[in-house]
Structure 1
Amino acid sequence: MTSRLASQPPARKAWRHGSACVIAHFRLTPKSSKEAIDGIVETPDGPAFQARVRALPEDGAANRALEELAARWLGVTKSSVSLATGGKSRLKSLKISGDPETLERLLQERTNELRK
């Protein structure tokens, strides 16, 4: 797994449209010293946002922390973000409910900020 350079955009996006939602892919590192979304990494399943949370990977705490981090990062309500897949894996998909076009724009803006 390697990090993408800022000058090389990923061939694919780290998200896709769903039905009245967007599914965003994350690679989660629990037990971190800080909570952040650091960039985009290439995974065996394609590009994913690299996220770090302080929570331990016990009883779903890290998954909940990721949901809250993603909601803050995108400026959406916590209730609109939920774990779709990857409950026990480092590679996770979050379902972000709302207008797919608006969410696409938000994700693209945040991705562009990560590349600066």
Structure 2
Amino acid sequence: MLSLKEPWRYSTTGVSVAIRVTPRGGRDDIDGIEELADGRSVLKVRVRAIADGGEANRAVLGLLAKSLGVRKADVRLLSGPTSRLKQIAVDGDPARLGEALRRLAASEDKGSK
């Protein structure tokens, strides 16, 4: 069971997810939840794409869409286009998205503190 707080917030149209991206991470994957030094929780995401010309951002959005079972058009970058820390909005049923994120984070959690 995860002891970290969930790095997503619910809205009437879906969820907003705080993520930390590792570009050129060797594979496209979700590595669980991590707590940052300032106490915020983020979903750790790695992608093969490089952080150049928005390639890593597009890879992250595509990975989240596929992992959550939503259309790519339902996933968009809210903030952090040039930062490793990003806010991503996912449109859809908030309860279903939250449950899918919990499953992904729990199954992919690889020993976060």
**For the superposition of Structure 1 and Structure 2, which TM-score range results when normalised by the shorter chain?**
0.7 to 0.9
SS across alignment from 1:51 = strand
4+ residue segments displaced more than 2 Å: none
Aligned-residue offset at 1:55: 1.0
The match for 2:44 is 50
Q: Superposed, which structure 2 residues align to 1:51-70 within 5 Å?
A: 51-70=45-64
1:68 & 1:24 partners in 2: Cα distance? 14
Give unmatched runs, 5+ long, in structure 2: none
Deviations 1:59-85 (A, max 9, x none): 111101000011111122111111111
The match for 1:102 is 96
Q: 1:25 aligns with which of 12, 18, 22?
A: 18
Which structure carries more relative contact order (alpha carbon 8 Å, separation 6+)? 2
**Letter of the 1:28 counterpart:** V
Aligned-residue offset at 1:114: 2.3
Aligned-residue offset at 1:8: 4.9
Could you state the TM-score of these two structures normalised by the residue count of structure 2? 0.86
The match for 1:111 is 105
2:20 & 2:105 partners in 1: Cα distance? 15
Cα–Cα, structure 1 residues 72 and 19, in superposed 2: closer, same or farther, change >3 Å?
Answer: same
Q: Give the superposed CA RMSD.
A: 1.7
Could you state the TM-score of these two structures normalised by the residue count of structure 1? 0.84
Aligned-residue offset at 1:40: 1.0
SS across alignment from 1:87 = coil
2:2 & 2:98 partners in 1: Cα distance? 20
The match for 1:3 is none
Cα–Cα, structure 1 residues 108 and 87, in superposed 2: closer, same or farther, change >3 Å?
Answer: same
Give unmatched runs, 5+ long, in structure 1: 1-6
Aligned-residue offset at 1:45: 6.0
1:50 & 1:81 partners in 2: Cα distance? 17
Cα–Cα, structure 1 residues 8 and 105, in superposed 2: closer, same or farther, change >3 Å?
Answer: closer
Indicate yes or no: 2:60 matched with 1:81.
Answer: no
